[in-house]
Amino acid sequence: MKGNFPIDKFQQIRTPFYYYDTDLLRETLRAINNEASKHEGFVVHYAIKANANRKVLNVICQAGLGADCVSGGEIERSIEAGFPSQKIVYAGVGKSDWEINLGLDCNIFCFNVESIPELEVINELAEKKGKIAQVAFRINPNVGAHTHANITTGLAENKFGIAMQDMEEVIEKASKMKNIKFVGLHFHIGSQILDMTDFIALCNRINDLQNQLELHHIKVENINVGGGLGIDYNHPNRKPIPDFKDYFDTYAQHLNLRPGQKLHFELGRAVVGQMGSLITKTLYVKQGTAKQFAIVDAGMTDLIRPALYQAYHKIENISSEEPCETYDVVGPICESSDVFAKAIDINKCHRGDFIAIRSAGAYGEIMASQYNCRKLPTGYITEDFK
């Protein structure tokens, strides 16, 4: 079973490029809104870092999601796309002064603060502008996630967040600052998580921390649990939409929200991952000594995840229905790591065949580089081909 692509429309477009199925994106957004709306106080933000294509952002904005940003550039892109400033949260371990000032000027909902020095700088800059900065403290819950080591973020050894034992001190310090308003706690334990027990462990930790704070008469308006929900890279056609029901129900059942408390989510990959494919063209089929290579015109500059994380992406020859043969699918970059997959079975390849590298809507186009002086890939949406 292969994906459905307007191959006839691809003929005139220079490869490689990204193809975004906005019909699937809208269906995914409907599923998110339907499931989240079943639970009082659930607020969903989209993590801009997953895919900041302007046309994609417009669709997500129209669905009513907020924006989770990790840079000043992402704040600017969110505003351009139409996200209301009061729905923008700004996280990141290294916020520069211009980025903080931008957030203050735009009157964003909240800064997710990761250290005392950062808190002091935000207070100082807010004072100069005569503004009150709303902050949530990102707490490192020391909760592991069953995912790749490079995308875990909630362990004590990671660079992110404030240690749990420092939480009360930081909140107390903030309460004495004239230009700071404490509005919540922020957590994020990692990405591409499919085991709900990881989220249950986070819920249990947050419950303990909230109980601890209430002993000191500290109330929290907002809890932000980040994102992290993964997608099915093995079966993008069979499972194009993640199980949002299970995800939101897990938090509803295991997190003890207080009356009136808002629960914020920052979904990225789960929103856009499956709607995107990297479309590339076969340049050569090369017979090596021990294996056969399908050499394509896309490389690690266009999709770095396989080289960086040893990530798996399903690969389909969407031009061929011939019997499968075994190939290493490789790109043109002068690096041995420029390999999309080894020893995979796909329909027999010929020069000029279109190859679709699936589940590439998240952390694909946005992470592309110009190494080897290559052009950045263009992103097209379904409407561009109608």
DSSP codes of every residue in 6-40:
-HHHHTTSPSSEEEE-HHHHHHHHHHHHHHHTTST
Say what the pTM is: 0.94
Distance from C-alpha of 134 to C-alpha of 184, rounded to nearest angstrom: 9
Residue type at position 326: T
| Nearest Cα residue to 236 out of 84, 76, 21, 15 | 21
Distance from C-alpha of 196 to C-alpha of 362, rounded to nearest angstrom: 21
Distance from C-alpha of 252 to C-alpha of 177, rounded to nearest angstrom: 34
| Nearest Cα residue to 203 out of 220, 182, 217, 189 | 189
Write down the mean pLDDT value for the chain. Answer: 94
CB contact at 8 A, 67 and 87: yes
Distance from C-alpha of 76 to C-alpha of 90, rounded to nearest angstrom: 11
CA dist 103 → 79, 87, 122, 142, 222 (Å): 11, 12, 10, 29, 19
Tens-place pLDDT, residues 262-303: 999 999 999 999 999 999 999 999 998 899 999 999 999 999
* Residue in the block written with tokens 């002068």: 334
CB contact at 8 A, 111 and 122: yes
Which domains are seen in the chain, by residue range?
7-15+274-385 (2.40.37.10), 22-271 (3.20.20.10)
Tens-place pLDDT, residues 112-164: 999 999 999 999 999 999 999 999 999 988 775 544 444 344 344 555 678 88
- Of the listed ranges 60-69, 208-217, 319-328, 361-370, the least confidently predicted one is 208-217
Residue 162 confidence (pLDDT): 87
Tens-place pLDDT, residues 7-58: 999 999 999 999 999 999 999 999 999 999 999 999 999 999 999 999 999 9
For the chain, give the percent of residues with pLDDT over 70: 96
Tell me the backbone φ, ψ of residue 312, rounded to 5 degrees. Answer: -95, 130
**Could you tell me whether strands 276-287 and 17-20 are parallel, antiparallel, or unpaired per DSSP bridges?**
antiparallel
What's the average model confidence in pLDDT over 169-177?
93
| Nearest Cα residue to 33 out of 6, 59, 65 | 65
Residue 307 confidence (pLDDT): 96
Distance from C-alpha of 99 to C-alpha of 43, rounded to nearest angstrom: 24
For the chain, give the percent of residues with pLDDT over 90: 89
Task: Kindly state the tokens that stand for 81.
Answer: 């796309």
3-state helix, strand, coil in the chain (%, to 5): 35, 25, 40
What's the average model confidence in pLDDT over 327-355?
98
Distance from C-alpha of 163 to C-alpha of 161, rounded to nearest angstrom: 7
CB contact at 8 A, 376 and 16: no
Task: Kindly state the tokens that stand for 47.
Answer: 């993590």
Residue 152 confidence (pLDDT): 46
| Confidence band, pLDDT 50/70/90 cuts, at residue 367 | very high
CB contact at 8 A, 236 and 275: no
Residue 140 confidence (pLDDT): 87
pLDDT surpassing 80 at residue 336: yes
CB contact at 8 A, 12 and 371: no
Dump strand ranges (E) for 85-179.
Answer: 88-90, 110-113, 133-140, 162-163
